[in-house]
Copies of this chain bind each other. A is one copy, B any other.
Amino acid sequence: MVANAPATSYERIVDAAEECFARFGVAKTTVEDVALSAGMSRATLYRNFGGGRDELILAVFLRDVSRFFDQITERLTGQLDVPAAVVDGIVDAVVFIRHEPRIAGLLAPEVVGHTQTVVNQASERVLRLCADRVRPYFSLAQEAGLLRPGTEVEGAVEFLFRIIASLSLSPLTRTDEETRHFLRTYVLPSLIA
């Protein structure tokens, strides 16, 4: 990602970390676990993967987010109704997070304690990734005059990120339709012209 190492080693390490997080949970996974699972020594892991444990957590998180964008991009291709696309995207994100306990674990503070800090401390990087993925579509909609004047990708992404995180972790379990109504009523007006 950041030219951290040859792609092969890097991928292997992130795969191993993902596997360990799924098996032991983030809180119980040690760097040694990941190294063993990647078939290398701890020393080699640190050499090939600067940043250590926190970076490991973040890398898995970011890759999962990236996967979500691959998925949603495919699903929303051809959707010309921008408000509908936004609503669908948010609902999909919530469903995605709910179905991937790994991500939920990385977002929920009470579950893993310290870990929330890791993702929070790097929230700029998370947002940057999201903004980069959203930007092309955002620009198109903007040029078509579909967005409220003054909105920018970074701000819009942060806004949506907070909504999504809140909806994912909130104990208020609504039906998808109720969520959509909530989104159309309270979220869309800030974004759509």
Q: Which residues of A contact B (CB under 8 A)?
A: 24-25, 28
Contact = CB atoms under 8 A, between A and B. Distances in A.
**Oligomer: number of copies:** 2
Contacts of A28: 24, 28
Nearest to A24: B28
Nearest to A33: B28
4 contacts: A24-B24, A24-B25, A24-B28, A28-B28
Contacts of A24: 24-25, 28
A75 to B, nearest CB: 33
Nearest to A23: B25
A39 to B, nearest CB: 17
Contacts of A25: 24
A94 to B, nearest CB: 26
A82 to B, nearest CB: 44
Nearest to A25: B24
A24 B28 CA distance: 8
A73 to B, nearest CB: 35
A25 B29 CA distance: 12
Nearest to A29: B28
A39 B24 CA distance: 21
A25 B25 CA distance: 11
A135 B53 CA distance: 53
Q: Which 4 A-B pairs rank lowest in CB-CB distance, beginning with the nearest?
A: A28-B28, A24-B28, A24-B24, A24-B25
